[in-house]
Amino acid sequence: MTPSYLLAIDAGTQSVRALLFDLQGHLVDKAQVPITSYQSPQPGWMECAPDAFWQHLCQAAQRLWANTRVPKAALAGVVLTTQRAVPVALDAAGQALRPSMIWLDHRRAAHAPRLPWWWELAFGAIGMRATLRHFQREAEANWIAQHQPDLWARTAHYLLLPGYLHWRLCGRMVDAVANQVGYVPFDYKKGRWAGAHDWKWHALPVTRAMLPELVPAGTVIGSISAQAAQDSGIPAGLPLVAGAADKACEVLGAGCLTPEIGCLSYGTAATFNTCTARYREVTPFIPPYQAAVPGHYNTEVQITRGFWMVRWFKEQFGQHEEKEALARGVAPESLFDALVGAVPPGAQGLMLQPFWNPGIKWPGPEAKGAIIGFGDVHTRAHMYRAILEGLAYALREAKERTERRTGVPITRLRVSGGGSQSDAAMQITANVFNLPCERPHLYETSGLGAAIIASVGLGLHPDYASAVRAMARTGQVFTPEPAHARTYEQLYRRVYQRMYERLQPLYRDIRAITGYPSHD
């Protein structure tokens, strides 16, 4: 039997999925295990034992084998894509020393040690000293070294989550260049660990010996070990291919290979991305990430609490729809879409700015979310629509910033992630951007992007352009409604774009009075 199927493991924030793809991009079978092992020892903390991620991966794979008719002999290889910025500290024997902090964790290092005077002078000269301090306080390695110094002294290996899972799968500490998103000493422009004299080695307690070998996406990094095969059911000896981070894989899986296509991800974090061969910082001094396609970059702008806000709304105000959907045997999303449809575009003047998490430069560290324009006509349906509209406004702002910095007009939009399954969200996005919004042919775009990487790495498709043509297609397209687009244009230009600047002084006062948001 000629191996013609690819196993993609997608370890996201909410679940781990084992996905079987063929070489035409069809999702043949799927198994999903929700991640229920997160812990919050203190308010704002969020962590998970690394071994729990491994157990979820094994459970997902075993469920897949129990329910698929595809024989294991038909598998050509396996590839991983995971949530980003989840570090794993291991001892010299490769055993995890502590739970991993998840990217949503709010804890901060207690202090930021000063760098050598020449670096302090350089950062001061370009007005980036506050950004440097933000980097140092956000870095999980600094928190561990300051609060658990004995444990840090035993740390021999410092990996991100995909590197750890590679270690468990094939026994090698190797990771993909396109997985390096987090507070690690990485050179985003050159796609390698930072040079010997880079400031990051002074800002972090990490040494080069702690870090894994880096390889380009698509590299075969090893084969599944006998122990991993026993645990997961993935065939021993199956090639393991280096993948890319989940957002990078989403961009690829949505078919976004060139910079005139904007890729919106409506996930827990909402992002606006393009893929380009040119290094361009959309936010000055904030680097683009390495793309899934080697030698390319993703010009990402992120709204950290993206469709997390939709989940929050459903948990706080959507019990009626959840109960009704269960009684009627329909998806809750369909009823929430009906909720949106009961309110006119613009939510009768209710405007939301979705900065539920502070930023670094835009928005700044003082930023908070805001909803303005309340009146006695407003209901929870208006609030729900305002959330969708506010996210679309923020991502349109990211699009325009990307166009200014790259000089490339964005003429097409692809929307992926869980939120893309909402027709209401898709139509609002088309109207706010006044551009057609294309939904990929399947929802699992991160897994599909990983499978595309594996197909090229294993020589099953000759190059990325060919693989995308064969495996990534456009599904439903939502076109702008001219009257609604005009309403959104005025609200965006005359209200939304002025909100943050007007509210920023008040956010600073809130932080000074209450201490929140804090970086300590």
Q: How confident is the model at residue 285 (pLDDT cuts 50, 70, 90)?
A: confident
Which residues in 373-451 belong to E strands, given as ranges?
A: 412-416, 437-440
Q: How confident is the model at residue 284 (pLDDT cuts 50, 70, 90)?
A: confident
Alpha-carbon gap, residue 347 to 19, rounded angstroms: 39
pLDDT averaged over the chain?
92
**pLDDT cut 70: percent of the chain above it:** 98
> Per-residue pLDDT tens for 442-452?
989 999 999 99
Q: How confident is the model at residue 358 (pLDDT cuts 50, 70, 90)?
A: low
Alpha-carbon gap, residue 351 to 84, rounded angstroms: 30
Amino acid 110: pLDDT: 87
Whether the per-residue pLDDT at 113 is higher than 50: the answer is: yes
Q: How confident is the model at residue 286 (pLDDT cuts 50, 70, 90)?
A: confident
Exposed / middle / buried, residue 501 (Cβ in 10 Å: 0-12, 13-18, 19+): exposed
Alpha-carbon gap, residue 499 to 178, rounded angstroms: 35
Closest CA to 40 of 137, 130, 105: 105
Amino acid 242: pLDDT: 98
Amino acid 359: pLDDT: 66
Q: How confident is the model at residue 519 (pLDDT cuts 50, 70, 90)?
A: very low
Amino acid 335: pLDDT: 83
> Per-residue pLDDT tens for 195-209?
999 999 999 999 999
Amino acid 517: pLDDT: 62
Whether the per-residue pLDDT at 79 is higher than 60: the answer is: yes
Q: Average the pLDDT over 469-494 and give the result.
A: 96
How many Cβ atoms are within 10 Å of 281's Cβ, its own excluded? 15
Answer for the pair 448, 250: CB distance below 8 angstroms, yes or no.
no
Q: Average the pLDDT over 474-499 and give the result.
A: 96
Exposed / middle / buried, residue 396 (Cβ in 10 Å: 0-12, 13-18, 19+): buried
Q: How confident is the model at residue 212 (pLDDT cuts 50, 70, 90)?
A: very high
Instruction: Please give the residue that has the higher pLDDT: either 518 or 183.
Output: 183
Q: Average the pLDDT over 270-299 and give the result.
A: 93
Answer for the pair 396, 419: CB distance below 8 angstroms, yes or no.
no
Q: Determine which helix (DSSP H) or strand (DSSP E) holds 248, and give its type and residue range.
A: helix 246-253
Has this prediction a pTM greater than 0.75? yes
Q: Which residues of 116-131 are buried (b: 16+ CB within 10 A; e: fewer)?
A: eeebeeebeeeebbeb
Q: Determine which helix (DSSP H) or strand (DSSP E) holds 37, and give its type and residue range.
A: none
Instruction: Please give the residue that has the higher pLDDT: either 458 or 508.
Output: 458
Q: How confident is the model at residue 297 (pLDDT cuts 50, 70, 90)?
A: very high
**Which amino acid appears at position 129 of this protein?**
R
Amino acid 443: pLDDT: 86
> Per-residue pLDDT tens for 41-63?
998 899 999 999 999 999 999 99
Question: From the CA atom positions of the chain, what is the Rg in Å?
Answer: 23
Amino acid 214: pLDDT: 98
Whether the per-residue pLDDT at 516 is higher than 80: the answer is: no
> Per-residue pLDDT tens for 229-277?
999 999 999 999 999 999 999 999 999 999 999 999 988 888 999 999 9
Flag the least confident range among 173-177, 322-326, 465-469: 322-326
To the nearest 10°, the Cα dihedral for 420, 424, 426, 427? Answer: 170
Instruction: Please give the residue that has the higher pLDDT: either 357 or 29.
Output: 29
Whether the per-residue pLDDT at 520 is higher than 50: the answer is: no
